[in-house]
């Protein structure tokens, strides 16, 4: 099959959507599918390059407006590129690309991965909703990573029959073997003692200020791996609360062996996010793969459904320092429970979140979309799709 993915950005740009698109496209390419990505460059000058066997066309960008890249050649480029492909796969939200996708040939199946509702620019929703509705009407299939993406959405319940749940998968083929990390893991345990781990960007919605405040009443330590705009603010908070010996903000860890050693050396993982900007939390999969219990927040997003409450994960209310502190101390004080939950997390990972399962499920969706003879209703018009 020839598959065209439409994303916001692509590697080396790092973001949740971009990581999913990259992993998915590389997995499809390794499964002998012909894959290309159409997205925005982060600068003015566009280019086409091949990254790990995936052709990537990055369009020139004039700037951004409300986080939307402004790509003047997008409509022209997408219209003519779409003719060469069997399936068009759009990653949502991406308003300009959504509008452009309405003009691709009507006989081309359109798959939409619905990553999240629009959160930060909700004030624009009255203007955006008509476009939302049209692109979801046009879609042959809407892929979501959890059922919460449907039930907690402002618009997806109206399109539930089109939705298919395909959980994100974690690419583990390049991860170092656990046995090769014994020395590094032992060194980290000796250096930091018993610690909880957070990994992610240091941004407001991650709730790291809540994590730091909650750590005043725990017996273990907390290691924070990552960087972002909240870095200095968080360091000041740690110093203000006198927690320099208990909380370490380590920055980004580039070395793969060192990165995974932090997971294996930790007692458990914490994801204290406070808003639905955290729509899945792939880092939970990394913890589960390493057989670590997870403490997450009970958001109106996919986050609480990645694990299984009480079995692989403990859920606390967002922004609740007291609940978070008690959950952390419970796992620090009950290592048998933490180990048991971690083992259950790895079993859940192997059942639901393997990379191979994600790729195979997408290929199945594409094949069905290509072969199905059906009609789509948009604004009262019946659009007949040809059988391939």
Digit-coded pLDDT (tens) for 256-271: 999 999 999 999 999 9
Q: What pLDDT was estimated at residue 122?
A: 57
Instruction: State whether 148 and 291 are in the same domain.
Output: no
> How many domains are contained in the chain?
2
Q: What letter would DSSP give residue 310?
A: T
Angle at 159 between CA 157 and CA 163, to 5 degrees: 100
Note down the domain range covering 193: 178-352
153 and 258 both lie in a single domain: no
Residue 30: half-sphere exposure toward Cβ, Cα within 13 Å? 14
Q: What CATH number should be reported for the domain holding residue 131?
A: 3.40.50.2000
Phi, psi at 113, each rounded to 5°: -95, 120
The pLDDT, as a whole number, for residue 43 is 85
Residues 343 and 360 in one domain: no
148 shares a domain with 24 = yes
* C-alpha 165: how far from chain center: 14
Provide the pLDDT for residue 86: 96
| SS3 of residue 288 by DSSP | helix
- Is 270 in contact with 197 (CB distance < 8 Å)? yes
pLDDT at 324: 98
Q: What's the confidence (pLDDT) of residue 127?
A: 64
How far separated are the first and last CA of the chain, in Å rounded? Answer: 11
Question: Strand 2-6 to strand 110-114: parallel, antiparallel, or no bridges (unpaired)?
Answer: unpaired
Over the range 123-141, which residues count as b (16 or more CB within 10 Å of their CB) and which as e?
A: eeeeebeeebebbbbbbbb
Same domain as 207, residue 113: no
Q: Other CB atoms closer than 10 Å to residue 181's CB: what's the count?
A: 22
Do 116 and 77 belong to one domain?
Answer: yes
Contacts of the segment 255-260: beta carbons below 8 A, 24+ positions apart: 256/174, 256/175, 256/176, 257/176, 257/180, 257/181, 257/184, 258/184, 259/225, 260/175, 260/176, 260/181, 260/290
Q: What pLDDT, on the 0 to 100 scale, is given for residue 381? A: 47
Cα torsion through 35, 98, 21, 349, rounded to 10: -120
In this structure, are 235 and 361 located in the same domain?
no
Same-domain status, 36 and 161: yes
The parts of the chain modelled with pLDDT lower than 70 are 66, 119-128, 373-388
pLDDT tens readout for residues 9-61: 999 987 788 989 999 999 999 999 999 999 999 888 899 999 999 999 999 99
Please report the pLDDT score of residue 62 as a whole number. 87
Same domain, 198 and 217: yes
Answer yes or no: do 28 and 127 share one domain.
yes
Q: What is the pLDDT of residue 387?
A: 39
pLDDT given at position 124: 58
Residues 145, 229 share a domain: no
Per-residue pLDDT at 388: 37
Does residue 374 sit in the same domain as residue 280?
no
Residues 159/160/164/170 CA torsion (nearest 10 deg): 90
């Amino acid at each position: 099959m020839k598959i065209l993915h439409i994303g916001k950005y692509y590697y080396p740009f790092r973001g949740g959507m971009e990581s999913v698109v990259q992993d998915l496209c590389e997995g499809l390419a390794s499964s002998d599918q012909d894959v290309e990505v159409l997205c925005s460059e982060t600068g003015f000058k566009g280019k086409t390059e091949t990254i790990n066997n995936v052709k990537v066309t990055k369009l020139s960008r004039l700037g951004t407006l409300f986080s939307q890249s402004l790509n003047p050649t997008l409509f022209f480029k997408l219209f003519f590129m779409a003719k060469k492909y069997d399936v068009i796969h759009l990653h949502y939200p991406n308003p300009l690309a959504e509008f452009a996708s309405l003009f691709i040939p009507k006989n081309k199946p359109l798959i939409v991965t619905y990553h999240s509702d629009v959160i930060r620019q909700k004030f624009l929703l009255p203007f955006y909703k008509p476009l939302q509705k049209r692109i979801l009407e046009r879609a042959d299939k809407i892929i979501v990573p959890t059922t919460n993406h449907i039930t907690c959405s402002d618009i997806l319940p109206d399109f539930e029959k089109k939705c298919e749940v395909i959980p994100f998968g974690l690419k583990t083929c390049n991860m170092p073997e656990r046995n090769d990390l014994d020395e590094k893991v032992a060194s980290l345990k000796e250096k930091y003692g018993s610690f909880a781990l957070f990994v992610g960007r240091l941004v407001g919605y991650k709730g790291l200020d809540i994590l730091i405040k909650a750590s005043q009443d725990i017996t273990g330590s907390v290691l924070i791996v990552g960087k972002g705009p909240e870095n200095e603010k968080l360091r000041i908070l740690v110093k203000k609360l006198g927690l320099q010996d208990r909380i370490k903000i380590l920055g980004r860890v580039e070395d793969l062996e060192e990165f995974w050693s932090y997971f294996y050396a930790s007692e458990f993982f914490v994801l204290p996010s406070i808003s639905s900007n955290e729509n899945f939390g792939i880092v939970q999969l990394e913890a589960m793969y390493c057989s670590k219990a997870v403490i997450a927040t009970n958001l109106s997003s996919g986050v609480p459904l990645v694990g299984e409450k009480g079995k692989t994960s403990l859920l606390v209310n967002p922004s609740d320092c007291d609940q978070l502190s008690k959950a952390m101390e419970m796992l620090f004080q009950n290592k048998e429970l933490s180990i048991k939950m971690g083992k259950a997390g790895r079993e859940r990972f192997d059942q639901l979140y393997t990379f191979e399962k994600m790729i195979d499920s997408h290929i199945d969706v594409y094949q069905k979309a290509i072969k199905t003879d059906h009609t789509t209703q948009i604004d009262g018009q019946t659009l007949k799709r040809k059988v391939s």
